[in-house]
Each structure stands twice: as structure tokens, then as C-alpha cells.
Chains A and B, each alone.
Chain A
Amino acid sequence: RKEVEQDPGPFNVPEGATVAFNCTYSNSASQSFFWYRQDCRKEPKLLMSVYSSGNEDGRFTAQLNRASQYISLLIRDSKLSDSATYLCVVGLRETNAGKSTFGDGTTLTVKP
């Protein structure tokens, strides 16, 4: 079993749709959580950090459920420019600050 698992998709949605991605992690000692976005043949870029209380940034909402060990990302009113691969990232901040584990990503295609 992978340490960080994501539904690979692809998710194909029309513009304006709401789409949600989930990610599960296996290490209960994980302390830091992120969503990164990666466009085709480009480097990953931070989309948002994920906090225990949940956080929102415009059309994007991230949630963390420590008890169930999963993270979610909700995208509302999706735009064509949201088409990308979304990577879930989990880190062990306290015991091993260096290593972050990436999921394999969920691919989103937003269509006109």
C-alpha cells in the first residue's frame, strides 16, 4: 500500500462544475499537509496548505480529517485554467522535517 493514495481520475467536468478530490495517508504521525498543482511537463507548485480547521482560498477549500487520515480538496465554479494534475503531499514535520511524500496525483480536465 502506498503511503499517500489518490484517485488518479481523470476527472472530466464542465466549466462551472464543483469537483472534489480525496487523498488518504497511512502514517498517523504525519504533521503537514499540502495540495500542489502540476501542469503538463511543468514543475509542481503549491496550491494551498491544509490545516486541521480547514481552510479556503477563493474557489478552493481544503479539509483535513486526522481521525480517518484523509485530506480533501474542493474546487467550486471550475475554470478551464484549473485543468491540471493535483498532488496531495504529506510530511512528517516533527520527526523528519525533510521528507515529504507525494501522491501520484489526480488529473482534472475542465471542458467548455
Chain B
Amino acid sequence: DTGVSQNPRHKITKRGQNVTFRCDPISEHNRLYWYRQTLGQGPEFLTYFQNEAQLEKSRLLSDRFSAERPKGSFSTLEIQRTEQGDSAMYLCASSLEGKETQYFGPGTRLLVL
């Protein structure tokens, strides 16, 4: 399978714990995006990388959220001190520079108890 992959697919955690999600983009794609989606809403942009550089972060992204893409390939999204409001589907997408089409992974569904 050469699509975007995300791990884990599901995560249940207790409030206050830290969680980390991983995204492996399509191999030749140099752009990587993180989104959050809650029920009944469209995906909400969180942050975006071009290669290893994080070029934009949403103003809505609190300082508890951090994302990295150290070698310009896979990316991790960490949420520190999780809150119940962080419960959502976290989607990763990738694209090729010059092509606007984004390809999404299956998402990581987070439930904070």
C-alpha cells in the first residue's frame, strides 16, 4: 500500500496524559498536513510542512500541540496534557509541491476520558 498511513488508528487516553501520533506520507510527497475533525464538521487545518520545515500553524492550535517532521519524511503530532475537548479524528494528508491535491490517511481517532 503506497498511500498515506497513520498510527495508531485509535487511541484512548485519560485527561492530562500526553499522546503522540505518527503519519507516513506518500513517499515522493514533500508536503504534509495535519487536520482535526469532529463529528459534523469538516477537517480543520492544524499545521503544514514542506519537507522538514513547518511553514504554518493554525492560530487555533494551542501550545499543547506540537508537530515535527525531522527528516522530511514521516511526521509526528504530540498533544500534551490532553483535555476532553481534544477528542477528535486527527487526519494527515500529503501532496506534491505544485499539485494542490491532498491525499488523506485513514486518521487517528482520539478519545480523551
Contacts and interface: CB of A to CB of B under 8 A. Distances in A.
A91 B100 contact: yes
A32 interface: yes
Contact of A100 (B45, B55, B106): B45
B101 interface: yes
Interface stretch (A38-46, A53-61, A65-73): A38-46
Interface size classification for chain A:
20 to 34
B101 A46 contact: yes
A contacts with B: majority SS = strand
Contact of A93 (B48, B55, B100, B107): B100
A87 interface: yes
A66 B39 CA distance: 30
Interface string A94-105: 001111111111
Contacts of A91: 100
Interface residues of B, number: 23
B42 interface: yes
B110 interface: no
A21 interface: no
A34 interface: yes
Contact of A101 (B31, B45, B91): B45
B98 to A, nearest CB: 9
A1 to B, nearest CB: 15
B48 A98 contact: yes
A93 B95 CA distance: 13
Interface of A: 4, 8, 32, 34, 42-46, 49, 87, 91, 93, 96-105
Nearest 9 pairs of A and B residues by beta carbon: A98-B48, A102-B42, A43-B104, A104-B42, A32-B100, A102-B43, A104-B41, A98-B56, A44-B104
